[in-house]
Amino acid sequence: MSATDRPTIAVFRPGDERIEDATDLLESLGAEPVPDPMLAVDPTAAEPRTDADYVVLTSKTGVELVADARWEPGDATVCAIGPATADVLREAGYEVDVVPEEYTSSGLVATLEDEVAGARVEVARSDHGSDVLLEGLEDAGAYVHETVLYRLVRPEESGRSAELAADGDLDGLCFTSSLTVEHFLEAADACGVREDVLAGLEDATVGVIGEPTAETAREQGIEADLVASEATFEALAHETLEETDDEH
């Protein structure tokens, strides 16, 4: 625990209002947040196709980019991977036709697989999107096209959390994607403390969103203590903190 007896929880949201909101949430839950943005957006200036039957948006950032470009979906069925993306779409003036019950790539595939055979499906997202979505829709008989709206890169200033982990000063970590795991360890490598970080995490609570993130962590030598019950940061934060409190 930190000197304030509040558990120190690292959070890796993009360095905009999302990291601020995450920090506020963790503070409200009684934690000492360690905000360490591991994702920065590098737009490609590409736009989604306009002749698709279905268009899938998977992130707030993607929605903001297409809205700034004044992209119009035409008659396409607009799909959001989860409620957060759907809310941003509506705020930008788009109608949302489909939100899966399970806020994941596999959840969206399950929602669409019985209706997309022969349809043109446009998936507009980052360069690190899961193959589960593309392959699942193709297996359902859709003609799938992917547009990379932006690349996700690691901010040069990231790494504070890795140094704390190496010193054994983190009680918990909230990984929101496979890429946050990879960038966290890249930051550890850049600081020359990777082995110390892996050792330090053995005594910390590692929370992740989704099984793909858990698998990435496992491949990198990090064993997740929990997978959030739903793919939202709110669930991840609550459950990581609960687990941290139980362990300490």
List, for residues 201-232, the tens digit of each pLDDT value. 999 999 999 888 999 999 999 999 999 998 88
Whether residue 18 is found in the same domain as residue 100: no
Window from 12-26, 59-73, 107-121, 217-231 with minimum mean pLDDT? 12-26
Q: What is the spatial order of strands in the sheet that 205-208 belongs to?
A: 32-35, 8-11, 172-175, 205-208, 226-227
Whether residue 137 is found in the same domain as residue 214: no
Q: Which amino acid is at 244?
A: T
Whether residue 23 is found in the same domain as residue 70: no
Residue 178 lies in a domain: yes
Whether residue 77 is found in the same domain as residue 15: no
Whether residue 221 is found in the same domain as residue 175: yes
Tell me the CATH number at 123: 3.40.50.10090
DSSP state for residue 229 in the 8-state scheme:
S
Of the candidates 75, 71, 70, the one whose C-alpha atom is nearest the C-alpha of residue 53 is 75
What local confidence, expressed as pLDDT, does residue 205 receive? 96
Contact 216, 181 (CB under 8 A): yes
What is d(CA 80, CA 83) in angstroms, rounded to the nearest whole number? 7
Q: Is the pLDDT higher at 212 or at 70?
A: 70
Residue 2 lies in a domain: no
What is d(CA 189, CA 147) in angstroms, rounded to the nearest whole number? 31
Among candidate residues 109, 124, 152, the one where a domain is terminated:
152
Whether residue 50 is found in the same domain as residue 147: yes
For the chain, give the percent of residues with pLDDT over 90.
Answer: 81
Query: Residue 113: is its pLDDT beyond 70?
Result: yes
Average pLDDT over residues 62-83: 95
Window from 3-12, 68-77, 122-131, 235-244 with minimum mean pLDDT? 3-12
What is d(CA 240, CA 189) in angstroms, rounded to the nearest whole number? 25
Among candidate residues 103, 136, 152, the one where a domain is terminated:
152
Whether residue 25 is found in the same domain as residue 67: no
What local confidence, expressed as pLDDT, does residue 247 receive? 65
3-class DSSP state of 150: strand
What local confidence, expressed as pLDDT, does residue 5 receive? 80
Each residue of 160-179: pLDDT tens digit?
999 999 999 999 999 998 99
Residue 1 lies in a domain: no
Residue 3 lies in a domain: no
Whether residue 59 is found in the same domain as residue 146: yes
Residue 143 lies in a domain: yes
For the chain, how many structural domains are there in total? Answer: 2
Whether residue 28 is found in the same domain as residue 80: no
Whether residue 104 is found in the same domain as residue 138: yes
Each residue of 83-110: pLDDT tens digit?
999 999 999 999 999 999 988 889 999 9
Whether residue 116 is found in the same domain as residue 165: no
Query: Residue 3: is its pLDDT beyond 60?
Result: no
What local confidence, expressed as pLDDT, does residue 248 receive? 56
Range of the domain at 217: 8-39+159-247
Whether residue 14 is found in the same domain as residue 82: no
Residue 70 lies in a domain: yes
What local confidence, expressed as pLDDT, does residue 232 receive? 87
Average pLDDT over residues 183-196: 93
Among candidate residues 108, 133, 152, the one where a domain is terminated:
152
